[in-house]
Structure 1
Amino acid sequence: MKSYTILIAIIGGSIGIMAIIFGLDIGKMSISTQEYSLYVDPIIDKQSLFVTGRITIQNTGSKLLTNLHVNFGDGDTLDIKSLKPGEKIILSPPSDNSMQFVMINADNDIFVSKAYRELPKMVGMMGS
């Protein structure tokens, strides 16, 4: 009977340690570790009749981002006053834009420059 108790204690302790390790690892993904950080994801969708683009911008830092300046290229720009921590916005570039890249800068030395990426086409989906 005593050997079963020891075995159950070892298994329970192992599960507890694994839960703590995985919990801390998941916590790193959901809790911002930097004060000022910006996530930018520009996507271009080329259809047979038209081309659309969208840019996802999210404040992944723990503090407010201010004075964001979005440069879509081709002389097209947009100014955003602020972005709260965790706040996400989706922007569309002007329809006549060549959609090659997007550059975003903000206060506190934030600068992100990314080229548009194209999502893979799936069989049966529009534009494939």
Structure 2
Amino acid sequence: MKAYNIMIVFGITVIVIIGGVMGFPIAKMFVGIPDYDIRVDAVIDEQEITPIGQVLIQNTGSKPLTEVKIDFGEGEKMELGTLDVRDRMILTPPYNNKMESVTVSADHHISVNKEYRNENLQH
């Protein structure tokens, strides 16, 4: 009877492992995670004497984003390179930037334009 229990546990373990390996791509089809997607949030912290801007950029897709670039406006641009899956970065606009809007672009036709929003970041 013990050999039978061991074979059942082994079989279930193999099925779980195969399901875990194969399940992620299948689950991605049902959940709908895009291959290439990006989240951009632009905030002005009004707490300080001089307002400080912050731009959050996060890869929310299931594949790395390449040729990521940010345009702060007023001719201020920066090349960021590759952003791996789930990676994020927070950038500060150049000094004396009007902080009206920011555009982040990447390969695979990714382009997001966000206006800055005011928020008190210190609690």
TM-score after normalising by structure 2 = 0.70
Q: C-alpha separation between the residues in 1 aligned to 2:47 and 2:120?
A: 12
What's 1:101 paired with? Answer: 101
| Corresponding residue for residue 52 of structure 1 | 52
Structure 1, unaligned stretches of length 5 or more? Answer: 1-26
CA distance in 1, matches of 2:46, 2:77: 22
Q: Quote the RMSD (CA, aligned, Å).
A: 2.2
- 1:42 and 2:42 aligned: yes
Deviations for 1:22-66, whole angstroms, at most 9, x for unmatched residues? xxxxx98xx771000000000001246211000110000000100
Q: Where does the alignment leave 5 or more consecutive residues of structure 2 unmatched?
A: 1-26
TM superposition outliers: structure 1 runs of 4+ over 3 Å? none
Identity score, percent = 37
CA distance in 1, matches of 2:67, 2:110: 10
- Equivalent position of 2:22 in the other structure: none
Alignment length (residue pairs): 95
Q: What SS does structure 1 have at the residue aligned with 2:103?
A: strand
Q: In 2, Cα distance between the equivalents of 1:46 and 1:67? A: 32
The code of the aligned residue for 2:104 comes to: I
Inter-CA distance 121–84: structure 2 relative to 1 (3 Å threshold): closer
